[in-house]
Amino acid sequence: MDNKSPRAPQEQTVFLSKDGEVYRIPSLLYNGDGKQFLAFAEQRRTTNDASTKYLVMKTGTLKEETPDVKTIEWSELKLVKEALLEGHRPMNPCPVYEKTTNTLFLFFICVKGTVSECWQRFWGCNKARLCYITSTDAGQTWSTVTDLTDDPKLAKIKTWATFAVGPGHGIQMQSGRLIVPLYGYAPCSTSCSFIMFYSSVPHALYLYSDDKGKNWQFSNMLQTKSVECEMAEIDDNTVYCNARSEGGYRVEAMDENKGAGLFPLPPANKLVETGGGCQGGVVSFPAEGEDTNPNKWLLFTHPSDPSKRVNLGVYLNKSPRDPFAWSTPWILNSGPSGYSDLAYIGDGWFACLVECGELKETEQIAYKVFHYDDIKPAEGTEKKRKL
């Protein structure tokens, strides 16, 4: 495909916002066996985080129009009413799929009433709960809620000002380990709870299970200040973490010790953070032409502007252990662009779910399907193309 002219990514609205009904926080999971997508989001009354009503979902089927054009056929929207705790609002959908038992875990947090994250950080009073539901039929039916907040193995939740999973998607590693990314606001030592807001610092970590989701525990926290994150498996069962910062550049980290903790990679100033920060999507995939090779490359999506949520860029890294190896961004979506999530479809194809619009990024959540040939560097140069 190298000699063919670039094709425009296929795009279609998945969740469309309107007055009194705003969709935010996209999450995308792809099951290659059934060529089926699962798209999740928050349904809100307004753009305000505290106005979330339900988690919603759609299923999508991959369609090949021509060898060079792939599209996704989406189902009708479904409210995931099982993802609720009485008196709480659900937030941050983060699915992970356990292949051997065909079990889909949908993790999320439930926050009491309309309590904001800022309030929890200020008072050091955690009002979030760690929850999941499961499905063995691709989301057609769901279990009741499992609330892990009081699990003794997860007792450190009680020490956090607040926390959240993802958002985005979790992963299952080659070893079978399930991983759900999250971040927690850990307070520094202080005798005055009133200044907890100024003392609570966010740190990325992950929740993991080695017994197909029966028991869960936390990795150690990344000591570098870091917020919303996504993770991918690279070589040798190594976990790669890409996390939001509060300005400047993204935080990158790895964990090679199977839960011992994430350690930061050297700052390379290659992945720009946007304004006060924005979530980004990351996925690993087989090195070009090596679908059976254990060596993985990384793809990352994030607004490419240093100040505004505009121009969603796709960044490529062929040496995931090297933070200096990221390419310059190829612009997948021009204009307003917010949170995003990625899935690798196979044979060099990817799907991206992204908040976007004409005037602001909260107008819709749309999908785009594109191929590696569209983004890989041209010979001796970096390729950057706006649509």
Q: DSSP assignment, residue 52?
A: E
> Average model confidence (pLDDT) for the chain?
89
Contact 34/346 with Cβ under 8 angstroms?
no
| Mean pLDDT, residues 352-375 | 95
Convert the pLDDT of each residue in 210-228 to its tens digit.
999 999 999 999 999 999 9
pLDDT of residue 10: 63
Helix (H, G, I), strand (E, B) or coil at 116: coil
Check residue 290 and give its pLDDT: 57
Is 50 exceeded by the pLDDT of residue 192? Answer: no
- Which residue in the list 23, 30, 42, 49 is annotated as catalytic? 49
Give me the pLDDT at residue 382, please.
44
Q: Is 355 a catalytic residue?
A: yes
Is residue 108 within 8 Å of 165, Cβ to Cβ? yes
Adjacent-strand bridge partners of 243 = 229, 251
Check pLDDT > 90 for residue 188: no
Looking at the DSSP bridge assignments, the partners of residue 344 are 350
Of 339, 344, 367, 372, catalytic: 339
The CATH number for 16-188+202-374, chosen from 2.120.10.10, 1.10.287.610, 3.40.50.720, 3.20.20.370, is 2.120.10.10
Q: Nearest to residue 127, comparing CAs of 107, 153, 109, 106?
A: 109
Tens digits of residue pLDDT in 317-342 = 999 999 999 999 999 999 999 999 99
183 alpha-carbon distance from chain centroid = 12
Q: Could you tell me how far CA 313 lies from the centroid of its own chain?
A: 15
Q: What are phi and psi of 75, to 5 degrees?
A: -80, 180
C-alpha 150/C-alpha 148 separation (Å) is 6
What's residue 293's pLDDT? 57
Query: Which residues, including other chains, have CB under 8 Å from residue 153's CB and lie 6 or more apart?
Result: 215, 216, 217
In contact, 344 and 361? CB cutoff 8 Å:
no
CA 144 – CA 151 distance, rounded (Å) = 17
Q: Is 49 among the residues known to form the active site?
A: yes
pLDDT at 239 over 80: yes
167: left (phi over 0), alpha (psi -120 to 50) or beta: beta
Per the CB < 8 A criterion, the answer to whether 82 and 145 are in contact is yes
> 375 near 350, Cβ under 8 Å?
no
Residue 1 has pLDDT above 80, yes or no: no
Cα(135)–Cα(68) distance, integer angstroms: 33
Task: Give me the residue spans of the domains in the chain.
Answer: 16-188+202-374
Least confident of 32-36, 250-254, 377-381: 377-381
Phi, psi of 118 (to 5 degrees): -60, -45
Cβ neighbours around 171 below 10 Å, total? 21
pLDDT the model gives residue 7: 56
CB 207 within 8 A of CB 131: no
- Selecting among 230, 255, 355, 374, the annotated active-site residue is 355
Both tokens assigned to 260? 């011992």
- Write the pLDDT tens digit of every residue in 58-104: 999 998 887 788 889 999 999 999 999 999 999 999 999 999 999 99
